[in-house]
Amino acid sequence: MAPPINPSEIYTTSESRSLLKISSSTMKRLLKKGIIRANKIGGQYRILGKELLRVLSPKIERKAVKTYQTIKRKVKKELETW
């Protein structure tokens, strides 16, 4: 069983491939098409765990964004009355 993906962890393409259980050619294709967003550092890609989770389950990401935006609105409203 693969270890859980930590959203704040930074993974290499090799680690990401292992976690997603995909081939190197599939990983290259996903990076090239921008389906997986990554930063290139020293000629190598680095991928945030959050990005891997987004690719695995966009539904969960949308729910998290919606929850975050709701909390943000409440805090903003509270600060305006402060």
pTM of the model: 0.66
Say if 63 falls within a structural domain.
Answer: yes
Per-10-residue mean pLDDT of the chain, 82 residues long, equals: 82 94 92 92 94 81 76 90 78
Say if 32 falls within a structural domain.
Answer: yes
Which residues have a Cβ under 8 Å from the Cβ of 45 and sit 6 or more positions away?
A: 12, 13, 31, 38, 39
Which residues have a Cβ under 8 Å from the Cβ of 10 and sit 6 or more positions away?
A: 46, 47, 48, 49
Instruction: Identify the pLDDT of residue 3.
Output: 73
Say if 5 falls within a structural domain.
Answer: no
Overall number of domains in the chain: 1
* CATH code where residue 57 lies: 1.10.1660
Instruction: Identify the pLDDT of residue 59.
Output: 73
Residue among 61, 14, 42 at smallest CA distance from 31: 14
Domain around 37:
10-81
Pairing of strands 39-41, 10-12: unpaired
Say if 20 falls within a structural domain.
Answer: yes
Residue 17 to residue 34: CA distance in whole angstroms: 15
Say if 3 falls within a structural domain.
Answer: no
